[in-house]
Amino acid sequence: MVVKALEDADGNYVLASETLSFGRGSSDIWVLKLDPQGNILWQRAYGGPDEDTLWWLVESAQGGYLLPGVTVSFSPDLSGDLWILRIDTRGDVLWQRVYGVPSEWDEALAVGAAPDGGALIGGYYEEGDRDWDLFLLRVDAEGTPLWQRKWEYGWDWPTAIQPLGDGGFVVAGAAWPRPQDLDMLVLRLPADGSLGAPCANLTDFRLFQQDTRALPVDTRAVVRNTNVAPQPSAATVRDTPVRPTYLCPGG
């Protein structure tokens, strides 16, 4: 399945997925670039001998694409770590790096492009079997961390990140503070990742980082016509009475 698709600055389409059919391991990140008519311009798999996958991609403001995901192949202790690749418009790797928490599973679930060519990466890491904590990693165009934060309210994870015109970001996600409550979570952060006022839920955080050396593999998927037809639906829109609860008002 395609987990993310975008139209790039040149009017082409870039699709990101995972593949079990191609690549070097049990699953690899798979990226295809299509022209406006749907013809494949190039297709490549990125990974190693074990599980490697992603849930998002974004076009860099400096050209090319950022692919944040998770790797077991290049995790130093094979626990599964955040993996970011930046590729150019031809699919060649510009840089690649693993970031993580030792001995814990951590992965990226969302990304928002930044004006400097970098991005804000949102993910989660497992604290054993106790809970998940949401983390935010702001990197520049070369993958160097600019700031890192952790949000802890319960079981927390991000689902989307939207860049703002002032350089800040809106982070949307889920918070599960109690078994009976699964809440929507929204953070509005300025460019430096602070809230402007003390907040016990948002703290500094540090991931280790290490360069990786995955080699892209050209793949040979074939385009075939399909006969899928759209079907009407009967969904309705309803107002809800929910009011926000402010955990950490900004300063």
What CATH number did the domain enclosing 208 receive? 2.120.10.10
Q: How high is the pLDDT of residue 131? A: 80
Q: Taking the model in full, what pTM does it have? A: 0.92
Q: How high is the pLDDT of residue 197? A: 81
Q: Is residue 251 part of a domain?
A: no
Q: Is residue 246 part of a domain?
A: no
Q: Is residue 141 part of a domain?
A: yes
Q: How high is the pLDDT of residue 180? A: 73
- 251 residues of the chain, pLDDT tens digit each: 789 999 999 999 999 999 999 998 889 999 999 999 999 999 999 999 999 999 999 999 999 999 999 999 999 999 999 999 999 999 999 999 999 999 999 999 999 999 999 999 999 998 877 788 999 999 999 999 999 999 988 889 999 999 999 999 999 999 887 777 788 999 999 999 988 788 888 999 999 999 999 999 999 999 888 899 999 999 999 999 988 888 887 65
Q: Is residue 132 part of a domain?
A: yes
Residue 2 CB: number of other CB atoms within 10 A?
Answer: 10
Amino acid at 97: R
Q: Between the CA of residue 55 and those of 1, 116, 121, 177, 240, what are the distances in Å?
A: 11, 22, 12, 24, 29
CA gap 8, 12 in Å, rounded:
6
Q: Is residue 237 part of a domain?
A: no
Domain count, the chain: 1
Structural domain containing residue 197:
2-218
Q: Is residue 33 part of a domain?
A: yes
